[in-house]
Structure 1
Amino acid sequence: MGASRNWFEQGGEAYARFRPEYPPELAQFLASISKDKALALDVGCGNGQLTRQLAQHFDQVLGLDPSSDQIAHAIAHPRVQYACAPAEQLPLADHSVNLITAAQAAHWFDLPRFYAQVWRVASSNALLALISYGVLRLDEELDARFGRFYWQEIGPYWPAERKLVDSGYADLPFPFAEQVAPELAICKAWKLDELLGYISTWSAVRRVREASREDILQNFATELRSMWGDPSQYRAVRWPIKMRLGML
């Protein structure tokens, strides 16, 4: 693994490979408070990380994403169907869905149009969960360097919508009967290439590259590698899960 390696030349395959999976407790919790378990809908499903976890608890799950590249890399499951569709045009019958989730996706939606679709497709007492995970945390000696990279060096390249993720969607309008959500987290043990592969999937990284500022990325990768030590060494990575949970 040479220091000059371009860690940030990635695409949909990298998204499927490096995006952290949600803990099984998330799908278990959502299923436990769902009145019916006939159909769950995962909107903006990406490569289906949460979608297929929901399939462990629901009779049928539909994963929707506007990106054909994401759907092409989604992992199959016998109770999951995937389709390309935007959040604002859900291809489902009225009052047919028991649980609607949007994981790390709602900040991209036209919320008034999405919410109108939610009200249309939701069954009686259906649940809506807008899920996000916050800024990752590393071991103390690495965390400060990562924080400088995230907040300062690539901070100006994040789209405005990213602030909604950083706040756990607390600032999103949410016209539903809000329910209390448990404290959950994604916890991983990653090698250096896995962490940098994950970072490569960020929209801010794409914007940095488009601005011909690859030096920001490569300097960070080089410094982090020096601090990491043996790049095959596993280190703890943690993301707090935030959720806006509502009953319809």
Structure 2
Amino acid sequence: MTSFKDHFSGHVGDYRAFRPTYPDGLAAALADAAPARGLAWDVGCGNGQFSVALAARFQTVHATDASAEQIAQAEPHPNLRYAVAPAEDSGLPDDCCDLIVAAQAAHWFDLDRFYAEVRRVAKPGAAVALVCYALQKLDDPVLDAVVECFHNDMLGPHWPADRWKVVNGYRDLDFPFATVPAPPLAMEAAWSLPRLLGYMNTWSGVKAATRAFGRNPLEAFAEEIAPLWGEPERERRIRWPLTVRLGRVE
């Protein structure tokens, strides 16, 4: 039995409102890597943000998350079916998936059991992908330095240990599949300072630090970054480079 580490159900509304969106090129690249476009399994789908993009390219998308609260917030689509299920036990039949993808989720899985489930549900030659993004990059290195200090120093002791797998771009994760090249991709946005702070408030490290301190550390961070940002409603370009570990199930 997997012990699900739920760091997100307590703020699913904010998660849906403030998280950045994946570029169209990601779903396109994964669909191109799949042997067919029948069934894709979106594992750890959260509120279905990426599931909807996949549904535009696959006949059916089976989107699962261990959090019932996240699934309750998920966006509907005619090609989408949502289910509450852990990554290690999808509920799918054998040999049915053309694509299995986990976006910003694999670091929470029991990887050995998840990979066993991948092999069980994958068609021969199916594509499998682990996708993640770490700390955002702003359009000013001075702002980047302030954000990085907050992320690493103030929040450092409060991040779940699995967070550092994301920061490291999944380089240390076992990935026992034949590698397929993936194009360089990134999420991009133009955000005001309140919008950035709303996003950062969804971080599990911020939630844990708030419980530890009895106050939200973003309040002090906002005072520090505000004079460097300029007008709060000024929109700045923000970029999240994506790591895409793409492979094929033989």
TM beyond 0.5:
yes
Other-structure match for 1:89 = 89
- What is residue 67 of structure 2 aligned with on the other side? 67
Describe how 1:165-184 pairs up with structure 2 within 5 A.
Answer: 165-184=166-185
Check the 8 A contact 2:210/2:217 in 1, yes or no.
Answer: no
Q: Do the aligned residues in 1 keep the contact of 2:55 with 2:61 (CA within 8 Å)?
A: yes
Match of 2:196 in 1: 195
Q: How far 1:139 moved relative to its partner?
A: 2.3
Offset at residue 226 of structure 1 (A): 2.7
1:149-164 map, 5 Å: 149-164=150-165
- Seen in structure 2, the aligned counterparts of structure 1 residues 234 and 218 have a Cα distance that, compared at 3 Å, is same
Counterpart secondary structure, 2:138: coil
Match of 1:218 in 2: 219
Map residues 14-93 of structure 1 onto 2, 5 A cutoff. 14-93=14-93
Amino acid in the other structure paired with 1:71: I
8 Å Cα contact 2:209/2:216 also seen in 1: no
Query: Which residue identity is paired with 2:107?
Result: H
Name the SS of the counterpart of 1:225 in structure 2: helix
Q: Per-residue deviation at 1:116?
A: 0.6
**1:13 alignment partner in structure 2:** 13
Q: Which residue identity lines up with residue 119 of structure 2 in the other structure?
A: W
Which amino acid is 1:144 matched to? A
In 2, the alpha carbon distance for the partners of 1:198 and 1:235 equals 14
Q: Tell me the secondary structure at the aligned position of residue 159 of structure 1.
A: coil
Quote how far apart the aligned CAs of 1:215 are.
5.5
The alpha-carbon deviation at position 32 of structure 1 amounts to 1.3
Deviations 1:64-113 (A, max 9, x none): 00111111111111111111100011110000011000000000000111
Q: Using the alignment, how far apart are the partners of 2:210 and 2:11 within structure 1?
A: 13
CA positional deviation for 1:144 = 1.2
After superposition, what is the alpha-carbon deviation per residue over 1:110-163, rounded to whole angstroms, capped at 9, x for unaligned?
011111100000011101100001210112231111111111111111111111
SS of equivalent to 2:172: coil
Q: Does 1:233 align with 2:234?
A: yes
Quote the Cα distance in structure 1 between the aligned partners of 2:105 and 2:97. Answer: 19
* Letter of the structure 2 residue corresponding to residue 15 of structure 1: Y
Deviation larger for 22-31 or 192-201: 192-201
Aligned residues: 239
Q: Matched residues in 1 for 2:147 and 2:214: separation?
A: 18
Unaligned runs of 5+ in 1: 1-9
Normalised to the residue count of structure 2, the TM-score between the two structures is 0.93
How far apart, CA to CA, are the structure 1 residues paired with 2:139 and 2:159? 24
Identity %: 48
Q: Is 1:246 the counterpart of 2:247 in the alignment? A: yes
Paired with 1:61 and 1:18, the residues of 2 have a C-alpha distance of 24
The one-letter amino acid paired with 1:58 is: F
| RMSD, matched Cα | 1.2
TM-superposed deviation, 1:213:
5.0
Give, in whole Å, the separation in 2 of the partners of 1:53 and 1:154: 32
Q: Which amino acid aligns with 1:134?
A: A
User: Normalising by the residue count of structure 1, what TM-score does the alignment of the two structures yield?
Assistant: 0.93
- SS in structure 2 at match of 1:90: coil
Contact 2:62 2:81 in 1 (8 A): yes
Helix, strand or coil at the partner of 2:213: coil
Quote the residue 2:6 is aligned against: none
